Amino acid sequence: MYEFPLSILVAFAVVSALIAAAGFAYHLLLLIVAWWPRGRVTAQAAEKLHRFAVLIPAHNEELIIGKCIDGCKQLDYPSDHFEVTVVADNCIDDTAPCAAQHGAKVLVRNDAANEGKGHALRFGFDKLLAERCDAILVLDADCAIDHGALKAANARLAAGEMAVQCRNVAGNCDESPIALLMGVANVIENDFFYAPKSRLGGFVLLRGTGMILRRELLERYPWEAVSVVEDAEYSYRLAQGGISVDFLPHVSVSSSFPSSQVEVSSQRQRWFGAGVKAAVKQFWGLIKAAAVQRSLLPLDAAWSSWLMARPLVILELLAAMMLSGTLSMFPEHHGTALKLTGVNLAILAGYGCYAAVGLVHLGMTWRRCRLFLQAPIIVARYLWVAVRSVCLQTSVRWERLPRRA
């Protein structure tokens, strides 16, 4: 009778615990960097005023496109140095006339064979690069951006940055437990992950909205990302080329996050499955680029692609706990199993404290504390959605969530 060699089980248990520990140590290091006091930074006025094109890809957004355009018109930047352009992509409503009525330039795209935001962005970029602009700010139709965004982006472009990303924040954290949990995760991602990584010159992911791309960058790396996670796809391509994304921690783009289980399941099932596939597809290319260029940026991008998939991090930790628990069933390895279980439980507790710190940083109220108590149930459902999204075929259709006018 074949007996499973215990040495393999021990190896799996140790390796899985080490991976979980390395992931938590990385998060902890970035948290320390985020809180580390910085020397006084004196903002210097940029000598050049860059010309910006504000590009808004929109699919059936007649209810909200006017509000977004009106907000862009209020940007604190010379009005003759930026223009708002809307790509009305495969719309069957009045998105185009509504956008024109509010003063935006409208590009109508009808191509049922190539649906999705990635295709809309490629269409818009091609049109705008044929005109006079130095950089393009991409903004989703349901977002509101800080009035000083273009001034801040102009300063970063003047400093030589090729790509800039604003922080994305939730405007409806108090609406439901799901909205709160996503808001906490997002503030952690912004302030404890991307902001310190940007300080260290690490990999920062473009977020699809609130991203500013210089003309020269788009000419050197034309936009060919048309998957559901077009922003991540393009980010990995830039990392392979050794180009980092600068993060603007004090410039926010706000929108309403999913607040119900139906909404979050629909959105995350598409995003997570496609995101994992994109990361796997790019992984070895990033490793190769790191070796050839002798650069840490592509290596950090490969490592970050796993850490950014939070369900994978949680599932890997649970797998490590299961392996150490199984190992404890064998008396000869009881001591090793006990140590590994202690390490895994400490990491689990550490992540719990990490999330609590995120809640405090977001702004803690009694309502938010009550909503936050439901986090374990929501996380369990989220893990199930993540598993299903990897197993099922991911749709590439542009399936937006219901909007609030």
Question: What pLDDT is attached to residue 267?
Answer: 62
Closest-CA residue to 149 (of 76, 96, 209, 200): 76
- What percent of the chain shows pLDDT beyond 90? 64
Rg (CA), the chain: 23
The per-residue pLDDT for range 307-346, each reduced to its tens digit, is: 888 888 888 999 999 999 999 888 888 899 999 999 999 9
Task: For the chain, list the domains and their CATH numbers.
Answer: 52-260 (3.90.550.10)
DSSP 117-184: HHHHHHHHHHHHHTSS-SEEEE--TT-EE-TTHHHHHHHHHHTT-SEEEEEEEES-TTS-HHHHHHHH
Which residue would you say has higher pLDDT here, 281 or 70?
Answer: 70
- Whether residue 123 is predicted with pLDDT greater than 60 in this model: the reply is yes
**Residue 147: pLDDT band by 50, 70, 90 thresholds?**
very high
- Listed in sequence order, the residues at least 6 apart from 245 whose beta carbon sits closer than 8 Å to its beta carbon are 163, 164, 165, 198, 203, 204, 205, 206, 211, 235, 238
- What percent of the chain shows pLDDT beyond 70? 88
Pick from 49-53, 160-164, 252-256: least confident: 252-256
Do the beta carbons of residue 117 and residue 398 sit within 8 Å? Answer: yes
Cα-based distances in Å from 203 to 162, 174, 236, 356, 359:
14, 31, 9, 25, 24
Question: What pLDDT is attached to residue 43?
Answer: 52
> What's the mean pLDDT in 356-369?
91
- Whether residue 172 is predicted with pLDDT greater than 90 in this model: the reply is no
Pick from 28-42, 92-106, 237-251, 377-391: least confident: 377-391
Q: In what order do the strands lie in the sheet with 144-145?
A: 105-109, 82-89, 52-58, 135-138, 211-214, 163-170, 246-255, 144-145
Which residue would you say has higher pLDDT here, 188 or 380?
Answer: 188
Q: Which two structure tokens, joined as six digits, stand for 129?
A: 């690069």
- Whether residue 401 is predicted with pLDDT greater than 60 in this model: the reply is no
AA letter at 377: I
The per-residue pLDDT for range 110-120, each reduced to its tens digit, is: 998 888 899 99
Which residue would you say has higher pLDDT here, 387 or 164?
Answer: 164
Q: How many CB atoms lie within 10 A of CB 297?
A: 23
- Whether residue 80 is predicted with pLDDT greater than 60 in this model: the reply is yes
- Whether residue 386 is predicted with pLDDT greater than 90 in this model: the reply is no
Which residue would you say has higher pLDDT here, 269 or 144?
Answer: 144
- Whether residue 18 is predicted with pLDDT greater than 70 in this model: the reply is yes
Question: What pLDDT is attached to residue 46?
Answer: 62
Most confident segment among 41-45, 232-236, 278-282: 232-236
- Whether residue 399 is predicted with pLDDT greater than 70 in this model: the reply is no
Q: How many CB atoms lie within 10 A of CB 281?
A: 12
The per-residue pLDDT for range 86-101, each reduced to its tens digit, is: 999 999 999 999 999 9
- Whether residue 44 is predicted with pLDDT greater than 60 in this model: the reply is no
> What's the mean pLDDT in 393-405?
53
Q: Which two structure tokens, joined as six digits, stand for 389?
A: 């999204």
Q: How many CB atoms lie within 10 A of CB 92?
A: 8
Task: Name the pairing type of β-strands 144-145 and 52-58.
Answer: unpaired
- Whether residue 40 is predicted with pLDDT greater than 80 in this model: the reply is no
The per-residue pLDDT for range 206-233, each reduced to its tens digit, is: 999 999 999 999 999 999 988 888 999 9
Q: How far is CA 81 from the centre of its chain?
A: 29
- Whether residue 1 is predicted with pLDDT greater than 50 in this model: the reply is no
Q: Which two structure tokens, joined as six digits, stand for 49?
A: 């005023």
**Residue 198: pLDDT band by 50, 70, 90 thresholds?**
very high
Q: What is the mean pLDDT of the chain?
A: 88
Cα-based distances in Å from 78 to 29, 86, 285, 359, 391:
40, 20, 42, 38, 49
- Please give the angle made by the CA atoms of 239, 241 and 244, to the nearest 5 degrees: 45
Pick from 163-167, 244-248, 388-392: least confident: 388-392
- Whether residue 256 is predicted with pLDDT greater than 90 in this model: the reply is no
- Whether residue 55 is predicted with pLDDT greater than 70 in this model: the reply is yes
> What's the mean pLDDT in 150-173?
94
